[in-house]
Structure 1
Amino acid sequence: MANSKEAMPVTSVWSSGFVEELLPSSQQVSLLYHISYLCLAKFPKLEMLLQMRALEIQLLFGSSEAVLLKCVGTSQLVSSLFAMLIRTVEKNNPVLAIKYLEKARTWITEIIRDVEKMVDRYDTHKKDVATTTRDVITENSTIPEPTHLGEVQYFLSKIQKILVQLQGFWENVYMLLGNIKDKTFVDEDLIEEPEFKDLFVMSIQAASKVWEGFGLSCGKAVQIFRVQSKDAYSFLEIDPSSLSKDVWQKEYDSVKEKLQELKITVDPPSTPAIQN
């Protein structure tokens, strides 16, 4: 057991920047699906295939919202638990403190599992999009701009990366709580040196500050996924082949303009990024 009296590491500071990246990436996905859907007018088999892919990502965004909402709820529970942890240690009740620590770690384990499943589902969807992209390219002389689906994969990877970072945060907190337990308790007793009690309180207080910012970021992400899953795919309700030439062009130009406005710092690939 380490006898260091240095402050216990909390976690790497959680950056809210992932929300700023999540918003344009998720918007890009829906717009790229929209413009691809328009471009597949008059190709009923491919149009139906793309519709299936778009519905899949709509459902996936809905599931992502649910997982992030669970993150928010668990963050609130753990935050309350942190306050109780401090009180139990200050009152020299190590048995209850350990119980609270393990309860928090159980909740976190469930979140890690849920996020990991979401990451796997994005992998599956990207592979499906890659297959659809190849089918569309099999058609590069008659279908206008068939490269948009390659860009879909690019932005899906960015969203997936954000979820991986989310999973990593939870895993770090899980290990943090285990380290705090090991450095503060011997079996079910507090280490006798008062400095360790002070370090425990300082560590939990520092973790609480990080946790508050994390919960707020997750709440913003919930709203982003909610909008994308409920509103952004309404274009699927209209058959693009039924649009007049003028209406089709107007809608195409509108989506194209929105895509240009949403251009982010890292430019997507200019050719289809077919990922196996």
Structure 2
Amino acid sequence: MPLNACETLLLETSPVYTVKTWLRTKLVSSDSTSSPEFIQELLPSAERTALLYHLSYLCLGNFPKLERLLRERAVETQMLFGSSEALLMKCVGTSENLVKSLLPSLKVAAEKNKPEFALKFLEKAKGWINSIITDVKEIVKRYDKHNSDVATTTSDIITEKEETEKKQQQQTSEMEELQKIIDGLEENLGKISKEIEDYEKKIEVKNAEIHEFISSITDTKEEQTTQMPGVTPTMGSSVAIFAMIVPFVESVMGYISKMVMATSQESMVRSLCAGLSELTTAQQHLKEREWDIQNQLMDNQLKLAKLKIENGQLPSVTHLDEVQKCLSRIQQILIQLQKFWEKVGSLLDTLKERTFAGDVWIEELEDLKEEFLESITAAKEGWTKFGNSCKKANNIFSIQVNEAYKFLEINPSSLSKEEWQKEYESVKEKLQKIRPNAGNPAAITL
């Protein structure tokens, strides 16, 4: 994954560094968790998956063997989402523990000069995080196997479709016209995807600029601060401490913007954030256009499928292809979640090894204690946001598990033509209401 400067801040690991040297270290690393809300990107894919299964189920109602295969895959997905729901609730609990237990303990340890007290809670927090990492790894493996099973089912349906079409080769003019529309939409979709990739490269360049800026702020060496008017060693240390505790660069940039800076530095923050915001907004608009084209494509594919069903042909399996894409997207975000918690665990290890390795921590932090305490207070906001985001994602998966797969209780072949049409229109309307998660990239108020 390419370097993204609006990403998590990490620490050098050499144990010979003093606290002050450590606070001067360049802290920017690469991942996709610039905002606490990154986990909510799960939601559109989770919602879309059940609806796509529903459409596929309706289209296969007259093919009992394929209907049974699809039912099995849908039930497996439902169970997997149940495990995802439990994992996200665990993330909620761990975030709350960090806010209510770890951060207050670090604060007390600094106020009362008791590093051993903080060490106890750091070890406990590391245990929470290791447990989540293990769970995420296991679920990622299950998503990988399940997606492979869905692909096998898709292949089985394609084989059945080819055999059916040998028996029924007649194509109506209406089908041919719909196929032309579908081909045109697929071509447009490819062009939009290329534009989105181009913007991703531009965003990476802007991220590199932000990378350098944050590094210059957190580097408090005398020669550096001389070149950076308005940035004092204390300010750089405060930003570094905050960056260690809150692994979201969006939060770090917001923290920097609230501190007293020279006019030139305030202008730099505004310029960087505005530039990134402009690029991400443009990219988001492209993603929304892509989403609209996908919906148009789906609508025409459904119309073609309906005509083929009425003509005795087996429709295509494009909806199952989309299910695979949604499952893959969920899997990738869970991998991000795994890396995120691994990074947090690494931060805690560094904090434990370097800052609480004896009384030297207290001696060296004495002149930075006020900044340290302020950073802990500010850190609670970022972790609270992350916990709330996990809670929202958990609620969506809960709905998916308990409500979204009830369509499996009805045999689609038992529906009348009017009932089938009503069901089809209802699912299509729900799909069109789902939008890609916009998040809040670089939305920093100055």
Provide TM-score, normalisation by structure 1.
0.87
Structure 2 unaligned spans of 5+ = 1-15, 166-312, 438-446
Q: Return the match for 1:257 from 420, 423, 429.
A: 429
Q: Is the CA contact (8 Å cut-off) linking 2:19 and 2:355 kept in structure 1?
A: no
Counterpart of 1:93 in structure 2 is 114
Aligned equivalent of 2:62: 42
Change in 2 beyond 3 A, CA 1:117/1:202: farther
Looking at structure 2, the residues matched to 171 and 248 of structure 1 have their Cα atoms a distance apart, in angstroms, of 48
SS of the counterpart of 1:2? Answer: coil
1:84 corresponds in structure 2 to: 105
Match for residue 210 of structure 1 among 382, 386, 392: 382
3-state SS in 1 of match to 2:36:
coil
* 1:169 Cα offset (Å): 1.8
Distance 1:91 1:264, change over 3 A: closer
What is the CA distance between 1:93 and its match in structure 2? 1.4
1:64 aligned to 84, 96, 100, which one?
84
What is the aligned-residue RMSD (CA, Å)? 2.5
User: 2:183 maps to which residue?
Assistant: none
Contact kept? 2:77, 2:146, Cα under 8 Å: yes
**Structure 2 CA distance for partners of 1:153 and 1:188, relative to 1, 3 Å:** farther
| Pair 1:139-2:160 in alignment | yes
Query: Counterparts of 1:208 and 1:174 in 2: how far apart (Å)?
Result: 17
Counterpart in the other structure of 1:115: 136
Cα distance between partner residues in 1 of 2:375 and 2:410:
55
Q: TM-score, normalised by structure 2?
A: 0.55
- Residue 14 (structure 1) aligned with residue 35 (structure 2): yes
List per-residue Cα deviations over 1:153-190 (Å, max 9, x = no partner).
Answer: 00111111221222222111111111222331225763
Question: 178-187 or 87-96, which moves further after superposition?
Answer: 178-187
Equivalence for 1:274: none
- The alignment status of 1:3 with 2:24, answered yes or no, reads no
User: CA offsets per residue over residues 214-259 of structure 1, 9 Å max, x none?
Assistant: 1111111111111111110110000011112221222123323333
Please say if residues 7 and 203 of structure 1, whose CA atoms lie closer than 8 Å, have aligned partners that are also in contact.
no
Verify the 8 A CA contact 2:85 2:397 in the aligned structure 1: yes
Alignment match, 1:164: 335
- Is the aligned partner of 1:246 residue 2:267? no
SS, match of residue 190 in structure 1: helix
Which consecutive residues of structure 1, in runs of 5 or more, have no partner in the other structure?
A: 266-276
Residue 75 of structure 1 deviates from its aligned partner by 1.2
Q: Identify the residue that residue 269 of structure 1 maps to in structure 2.
A: none
3-state DSSP class of the match of 2:35?
A: coil
Residues 55 and 103 of structure 1: CA distance in aligned 2, closer, same or farther (over 3 Å): same
Q: Deviations over 1:111-165 (max 9, x none)?
A: 1111111111111110010000000111233322322111100011111122122
Deviates more, 1:137-146 or 1:65-74: 137-146
Q: Distance between the aligned counterparts of 2:46 and 2:28, measured in 1?
A: 31
Give the C-alpha shift of residue 263 in structure 1. Answer: 6.0
The one-letter code sitting in structure 2 at the alignment partner of 1:179 is: T
205-214 or 170-179, which moves further after superposition?
Answer: 205-214
Equivalent AA in structure 2 for residue 165 of structure 1? Q
In 2, the alpha carbon distance for the partners of 1:120 and 1:241 equals 35
Counterpart-to-counterpart distance in 2, 1:222 and 1:139: 37
Kindly name which structure, 1 or 2, has the bigger radius of gyration based on alpha carbons.
2
Which structure carries more helix by proportion? 2
* Sequence identity (%): 53
Deviation at 1:203, TM superposition (A): 5.1
Which of 44, 64, 71 in structure 2 is aligned with 1:51? 71
